[in-house]
Amino acid sequence: MKSRNTIEEYHEYRDKIGNRTELYRIVAKRYGVASALYPGSHIDIAPSLVIPKVIYVDNFKGAINFFKNMEMIKKYIAENKEYEKPSDIVFMGQDYSEELDVEPVDLIISQYAGFVGQETKKYLNTGGILLCNDSHGDATLSRFDDDFEFLGVIGKNNRIIDTKLDDYFVLPRSKNVDLVKVKEKMKEPKYKLIAENYLFRKIK
């Protein structure tokens, strides 16, 4: 049987998770993002289509094997990217909670990969943006972290909403959010109002 090539593998993965290029594009445009760190990226290389420098980090064997074909990935990105500059793509096949040899970036991407914001915020420029979902509670931890300012949410239509933010991260009957439990369970609390993605700015 002919083995799948790297780009076919990426396209299959993209079809499975949904194409996130528009999501990354609107965030990169709104906040003038030139560099990003994507811990727990697996093989979601869509950020490189819209952001010139992206560092991907994942310790899963499948991701490590995928990024071994870096020349093919770079060629694909060069042919499809939306910016003028040459692209700079780096992959680190390691645990993102261990020390990463990277310069501070403008954006950190956290998608279904644990407490990425908490573990890697030290690599985010002050003023930089954290884009995260709350599938494992990463957005919740960021919301109650003084290092971050809650900027907005992004729904299914990929529009940034920055109004009525006090309506998010609110539990029924105004119960307090139990952060210890969130860390233990790695699950988002059942809030009254939720969004697909959340945006935070690092303020310290």
Ligand X SMILES: C[S@@+](CC[C@H](N)C(=O)[O-])C[C@H]1O[C@@H](n2cnc3c(N)ncnc32)[C@H](O)[C@@H]1O
Does position 69 interact with ligand X (CB under 6 A)? The reply is no
| Residues 6 or more apart in contact with residue 59 via CB below 8 angstroms | 93, 94, 95, 96
SS (H, E, C) 98-146: CCCCCCCEEEEEECCCCCHHHHHHHHEEEEEEEEECCCCCHHHHHHCCC
Does position 41 interact with ligand X (CB under 6 A)? The reply is yes
Does position 49 interact with ligand X (CB under 6 A)? The reply is no
Among 6, 35, 37, 40, binds ligand X (CB under 6 A): 40
Structure-block tokens of residue 136:
């494992």
Structure-block tokens of residue 153:
């949410």
Contact stretch for ligand X (CB under 6 A) within 58-66, 78-86, 142-150, 175-183: 58-66
Q: How far is the CB of 45 from ligand X (least distance, A)?
A: 10
Q: Closest residue (Cβ) to ligand X? A: 40
Does position 17 interact with ligand X (CB under 6 A)? The reply is yes
> Are the CB atoms for 151 and 200 separated by under 8 Å?
yes
Cα-Cα-Cα-Cα dihedral sign, residues 81, 196, 109, 123: positive
Among 21, 69, 87, 97, binds ligand X (CB under 6 A): 97
Give the residue with the Cβ less far from ligand X, 119 or 145.
119
Among 36, 51, 56, 58, binds ligand X (CB under 6 A): 58
Q: Which helix (H) or strand (E) holds 91?
A: strand 88-92
Give the residue with the Cβ less far from ligand X, 18 or 86.
18
Binding-site string for ligand X from residue 99 to residue 138, where x marks contact by CB under 6 A and - marks none? ------------xxxx------------------------
